[in-house]
């Protein structure tokens, strides 16, 4: 795997890839897990080359403490990417990615204002801006995003349409641990007792019950609710378990 931290070196590398070969990109903030690996697997199946980016994007964190606590597992990430036979790792620094110091940004003013966007003001401006930058740099044929961040996936799909970007955005199913908890980089931060609460969260969230009943179950387990809502035939939740923010979503049966 070629590790590239410099934008101009990546651009040269990209230019030198054979014209008739395809490139898939998987964008990450590191702390890689089986969810990321499933995106990489999908990219490898559908493309000749796979690029993974690792960039902990500060502009999508509205809370400095959350940014500081975001897990960083560089050596382990490299080992996982090598084992997954990824072709390129792009890991730029802030100054490379934001030569404008974030004076320019992408804002969506409808779906980004609810759910995660409501409780994390500016979050989706940061996400959409960095994803646009990475799409421009990658010049990939396909980009892979997990359905765990369903709101993010939907906003990226709409952004790509709005700005005539030719990269195809591919949504991939949520990968769960054996007990039903969705894989997330944040899971590493859960203590043993918090992990047990997280299991209950996932289990209760999936019950075929009205939202009010699920809310009551969360409250009974002392699970702090950020939101629990249904939109477009999908149920969404974000909760805080011992200060760790976990999200989940599922399609509702008709």
- Catalytic residue numbers read 36
Question: Does residue 149 interact with ligand PAF by CB under 6 A?
Answer: yes
**Measured from the CB of residue 208, what is the shortest distance to ligand PAF in angstroms?**
28
**Measured from the CB of residue 1, what is the shortest distance to ligand PAF in angstroms?**
18
Element spanning 234, H or E = strand 234-241
- Segment contacting ligand PAF (CB under 6 A): 82-90, 127-135, 159-167, 193-201? 127-135
Question: Does residue 57 interact with ligand PAF by CB under 6 A?
Answer: yes
Question: Does residue 130 interact with ligand PAF by CB under 6 A?
Answer: yes
User: For ligand PAF, which is the closer residue by CB, 131 or 181?
Assistant: 131
Question: Does residue 151 interact with ligand PAF by CB under 6 A?
Answer: no
* Angstrom distances, CA of residue 159 to CA of 30, 141, 165: 23, 16, 8
Residue pair 29/146 in contact (Cβ under 8 Å)? The answer is no
How far apart are the C-alpha atoms of 1 and 139, rounded to whole Å?
19
**Measured from the CB of residue 193, what is the shortest distance to ligand PAF in angstroms?**
26
In the list 127, 172, 181, 223, the residue contacting ligand PAF (rule: CB under 6 A) is: 127
- Segment contacting ligand PAF (CB under 6 A): 27-35, 72-80, 200-208, 209-217? 27-35
Specify the pairing of strand 224-231 against strand 234-241. Answer: antiparallel
How far apart are the C-alpha atoms of 235 and 148, rounded to whole Å?
12
How far apart are the C-alpha atoms of 57 and 199, rounded to whole Å?
28
User: For ligand PAF, which is the closer residue by CB, 24 or 197?
Assistant: 24
How far apart are the C-alpha atoms of 176 and 199, rounded to whole Å?
11
- Name the 3-class secondary structure at 34: helix
- Segment contacting ligand PAF (CB under 6 A): 26-34, 64-72, 210-218, 239-247? 26-34
**Per the structure block, which two tokens stand in for 66?**
């959350």
Question: Does residue 167 interact with ligand PAF by CB under 6 A?
Answer: no
How far apart are the C-alpha atoms of 159 and 131, rounded to whole Å?
10
Question: Does residue 29 interact with ligand PAF by CB under 6 A?
Answer: yes
Residue pair 88/44 in contact (Cβ under 8 Å)? The answer is no
**Measured from the CB of residue 8, what is the shortest distance to ligand PAF in angstroms?**
21
**Measured from the CB of residue 101, what is the shortest distance to ligand PAF in angstroms?**
17
- Segment contacting ligand PAF (CB under 6 A): 8-16, 21-29, 69-77, 218-226? 21-29
Question: What are the helix (H) ranges across 110-243?
Answer: 116-119, 123-138, 150-162, 192-205, 211-220
Q: Give the interface with ligand PAF as residue ranges (CB under 6 A).
A: 27-29, 57, 60, 127, 130-131, 149, 152
């Amino acid at each position: 795997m070629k590790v590239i931290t410099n934008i101009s070196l990546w651009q040269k590398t990209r230019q030198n890839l054979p014209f008739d070969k395809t490139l898939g990109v998987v964008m990450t903030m590191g702390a890689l897990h089986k969810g990321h690996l499933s995106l990489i697997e999908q990219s490898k199946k559908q493309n000749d080359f796979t690029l993974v980016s690792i960039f902990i994007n500060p502009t999508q964190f509205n809370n400095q403490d959350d940014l500081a606590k975001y897990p960083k597992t560089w050596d382990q990430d490299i080992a996982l990417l090598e084992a997954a036979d990824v072709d390129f790792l792009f890991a730029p620094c802030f100054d490379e990615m934001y030569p404008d110091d974030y004076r320019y940004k992408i804002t969506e003013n409808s779906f980004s204002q609810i759910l995660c966007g409501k409780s994390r003001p500016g979050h989706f401006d940061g996400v959409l801006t960095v994803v646009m930058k990475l799409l421009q740099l990658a010049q990939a044929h396909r980009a892979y995003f997990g359905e765990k961040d369903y709101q993010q996936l939907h906003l990226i799909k709409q952004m790509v349409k709005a700005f005539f970007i030719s990269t195809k955005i591919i949504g991939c199913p949520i990968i769960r641990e054996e007990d039903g908890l969705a894989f997330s980089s944040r899971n590493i931060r859960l203590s043993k007792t918090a992990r047990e609460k997280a299991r209950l969260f996932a289990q209760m969230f999936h019950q075929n019950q009205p939202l009010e009943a699920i809310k009551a179950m969360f409250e009974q387990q002392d699970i702090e609710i950020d939101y629990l809502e249904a939109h477009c035939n999908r149920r969404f939740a974000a909760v805080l378990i011992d200060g760790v923010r976990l999200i989940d979503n599922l399609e509702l049966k008709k």
